Amino acid sequence: MDRIQNCQEKFEKLFGGKPTQNEGNDPEFMRILQRFIFGEVSYTGSLDDRMRELVTVTVLTVNQTLPQLKAHVGACLNIGIAPADIRETIYQCAPFIGFPKTLNAIAAMDEVLVSNGIVLPLESGETVTEQERFERGLALQKPVYGDEIKDRYTWLPGEFSEAVPRFLTELCFSDFMTRKGLDKKTRELLTVVLLAAMGGAEVQVRSHVEGALKTGSTKEEVVCALVHAMPYMGVPRLFNALNCSKELLSE
C-alpha cells in the first residue's frame, strides 16, 4: 500500500471522511500535509492509533492550535478513546504549560464532547485527599526521579528551598499523576512529547525520557512518539529532543 492509499485509509478511520483532493483554497498544501502525516508518519513505528492520537492531542494543547485540537478530539472519539483519557491527556499539561493554556484546551475539548452527546462533567478522576497529597506524590516521584529536585534547590532563600520541590511533588506527581484514566507509562511518554513540543526544555526532556524508560516504554516507543509529534511541533524540536536524549535512546 502506498502513502496515498495509507492516507485515505487512516483519514477515513480518524475523521470519517476523505482527504483533500482539489477542494479549498490551498489543496496542494493540504495534500502535502495529509499524505505526510496520515500516509507516512502514522505508519512508521510501533505505536497504535490510540497512543498516536493522544500524542497529537498533547502537542496541539501545548501549541494552543485549538481548531486542530477540536478535530483530533473528534478523531479520538471516532476510534474509541474514552473521554476520560482525552481529558487526562489535556489536564496533565497544566504544570508544564500553565493553567490558562490548559483551560483553553479544555474548553475546546468540552465543546467537542458536548457536540457528541457526552454529558459533562465527566466522572471524577481524583484519587488523593488533601491530607495525603505529598506522600502520594512522593511515592510516584521518588522511585523514578529520586531526590534530585529537592537536593538541587537547597540554595533557594527562606521557605522557597522547601516549597518549590514540594510544589513539584504535590502538583505534578500527586494532583495529576495519581488521577484515573491513564497509566504511568502513558503519562510519562506523553510528558516527553509535551516537553519536546515546548522547546527550550531539553534538560527536562532528557530527564523524562529516562523516566519513560523506567516506567516501561521501549526506546523505539519513545522515538516513535517524538517522530509522530514532529509534523505538529516541527523538525527542529524533534532533533533537539533526540539529540539531548541520544545517550539514552541509542542502541
In a domain, 1, yes or no: yes
Task: Give residue-wise pLDDT tens across range 176-224.
Answer: 999 999 999 999 999 999 999 999 999 999 999 999 999 999 999 999 9
**Mean pLDDT within 41-69:** 98
**Angstrom distance (rounded) from CA 37 to CA 39:** 6
pLDDT of residue 148: 80
- Which residues have a Cβ under 8 Å from the Cβ of 17 and sit 6 or more positions away? 11
pTM: 0.96
Task: Give residue-wise pLDDT tens across range 114-161.
Answer: 999 999 999 999 999 999 999 999 999 999 988 888 888 999 999 999
In a domain, 92, yes or no: no
In a domain, 5, yes or no: yes
In a domain, 134, yes or no: yes
Domain span at residue 23 reads: 1-43
C-alpha dist (Å) from residue 142 to 137, 138, 147, 175: 9, 6, 6, 16
In a domain, 163, yes or no: yes
Task: Count Cβ neighbours within 10 Å for each residue of 142-153 and write b for 16 or more, e otherwise.
Answer: eebbeeebbeee
In a domain, 226, yes or no: no
Work out the pLDDT band at 1, boundaries 50, 70, 90.
Answer: low
pLDDT of residue 146: 85
pLDDT of residue 207: 95
User: Residue 76 burial (CB < 10 Å; 0-12/13-18/19+)?
Assistant: buried
Where does a domain end: 159, 178, 197? 178
Q: Hey, what's the cell of 115? A: 457536540
In a domain, 103, yes or no: no
Say what percent of the chain tops pLDDT 70: 99
Where does a domain end: 146, 178, 210? 178
pLDDT of residue 19: 96
- Which residues have a Cβ under 8 Å from the Cβ of 128 and sit 6 or more positions away? 136, 137, 174, 175, 178
pLDDT at 251 over 80: no
Residue 103, φ and ψ in degrees, nearest 5: -60, -40
Total number of domains constituting the chain: 2
Say what percent of the chain tops pLDDT 90: 96
Q: What is the mean pLDDT of the chain?
A: 96
Task: Give residue-wise pLDDT tens across range 89-123.
Answer: 999 999 999 999 999 999 999 999 999 999 999 99
